[in-house]
Amino acid sequence: MIDDVIDDLFPDLAAIALEGAKGVGKTATGSQRATTVLSLDRPGQREIVAADLDYITQVPQPVLIDEWQLEPSVWDRVRRAVDSDGAGGQFLLAGSAGVAPGVRIHSGAGRIVSITMRPLSIAERGLAEPTVSLRELLSGDRPAVRGTSDVGLATYTEEILRSGFPGIRELPERARQVQLDSYLARIVEKELPENGVAIRRPDALRRWLAAYGAASATDTAYTKILDAATGGEQDKPSRATVDSYREHLTRIFVLDPVPAWIPMFNPLKRLTHSPRHHLVDPALAARLVGVGRDGLLRGEGQRVASATGTWLGALFESLVTQSVRIYAEAVQARVGHLRTKETDHEIDLIVESDDREVVAIEVKLAASVGDADVQHLNWLHDQIGDRLVDRVLITAGNYAYRRPDGVAVVPLALLGP
């Protein structure tokens, strides 16, 4: 999907920044559209660019500047080049981290457009042909909801474990597990230090990351995540240290939390502002918690501060969230979650268009659907009326249809952009 977005925009925009975690395919995507590739994670090329920033304007265009954040002054040089010549199709910047704290660059607003790449959505993995479009759901036209999928719980479980990283998912199972474990190790041992972060207690960071993964699909307080990571130890990392973990892991796109949805157009009262925790790929959370396919299907897996639901259910919600965010960005919509402070109402995903039209989405692992599963969706409809243009329950079932109350029931494999 990102290919279509870039191909639509790049002829008219001088510079596009592709942002996202290592392994999502930024370099491959950018290289397919570049005449010159400058890889700043290669010391020789980085030294050349650092010594003469004008070099990036002298090589044949389009130019892909890979891992640009390792030489942040490149950003400002691209911005100035665009100020001088705004013709489309000049620069692609690929980065697996945001700029380090304390490093100041111009925002690039109006010159450099940022696009986030994530691991492959379910639609991009080719499990089934989507029959329900998020764009059409957002249109307010109440599209027909129909279709059948033979993708079941076992396949969704396998997709969680295979991951959406293009270079990992096609590996044999054992090699894939080793690669995912290596990916997690590199975060602590290489990615963070390479991006200017000194990790004094690597084991403490690994334990915190595992506890965060176990809190996937919740808005568990960070104090509870820390307690789970330290297991009653007296010598815990300080709050400032934990905040630093979170900041830097988000900066390198490993943490991908969903922000709380706070509507501007309707005075909904007493909503929480806490984000919902997600890693960039649920396969990483599965490896951190250490439960395999059979264990997931048996309901095994320790969650952090969650009184209901299974670990597989949390990972399925994370898989749905990953896909919905990709579809939403393809149609220029934003994604949040909703929970009242009393926790009497909670909705997993709120998709809002630029026109403030809203689609509310709940996630349920089971295929069967009852009135209790859609009560929060219907409550929100009572609160905001026609602003809520559609209500959706995403399941691991086989059939897409509309309930008599208007709620669309959609198997994940049948939802697309």
DSSP string, 110-147: TTEEEEE--SPPHHHHTSS---EEHHHHHTTS------
pLDDT at 77: 95
Q: How confident is the model at residue 107 (pLDDT cuts 50, 70, 90)?
A: low
Residue 329 sits at the vertex; the CA angle it makes with 327 and 333, to the nearest 5 degrees, is: 100
CATH of domain 2-116: 3.40.50.300
Q: What is the pLDDT of residue 263?
A: 86
pLDDT band at residue 15, thresholds of 50, 70 and 90? very high
Evaluate if residue 129 carries a pLDDT over 60: yes
Average pLDDT along the chain: 92
pLDDT at 106 over 70: no
**Cα–Cα dist 219/229, whole Å:** 16
Where residue 108 falls among pLDDT bands split at 50, 70, 90? low
pLDDT at 301 over 60: yes
CA–CA separation, 105 vs 75, rounded Å?
A: 7
Report whether pLDDT(104) > 70. Answer: no
Domain boundaries, the chain: 2-116, 121-417
Sheet holding 401-402: strands in order across? Answer: 334-339, 346-352, 358-363, 388-395, 408-411, 401-402
pLDDT per residue over 144-202, tens digit each? 999 999 999 999 999 999 999 999 999 999 999 999 999 999 998 888 887 777 788 88
Model pLDDT, residue 105 = 60
Whole-model pTM? 0.93
Residue 375, pLDDT > 80, answer: yes
> Which of these ranges, 259-273, 375-389, 390-404, has the smallest mean pLDDT?
259-273
- pLDDT of 245 over the 60 cut: yes
Which residue type, as a one-letter code, is found at position 381?
Answer: H
- When pLDDT is cut at 50, 70 and 90, the band that residue 109 belongs to is low
For residue 129, with 0-12 CB atoms within 10 Å meaning exposed, 13-18 middle and 19 or more buried, which class applies? exposed
Flag whether pLDDT at 61 surpasses 60.
yes
Is the confidence at residue 103, as pLDDT, over 60? no
The CA–CA distances, whole Å, from 114 to 67, 155, 263 equal 14, 33, 24
Confidence band, pLDDT 50/70/90 cuts, at residue 367: confident
* pLDDT surpassing 60 at residue 214: yes
What's the CA dihedral at 83, 84, 89, 93 to 10 degrees?
-60
C-alpha 121 chain-centroid distance: 10
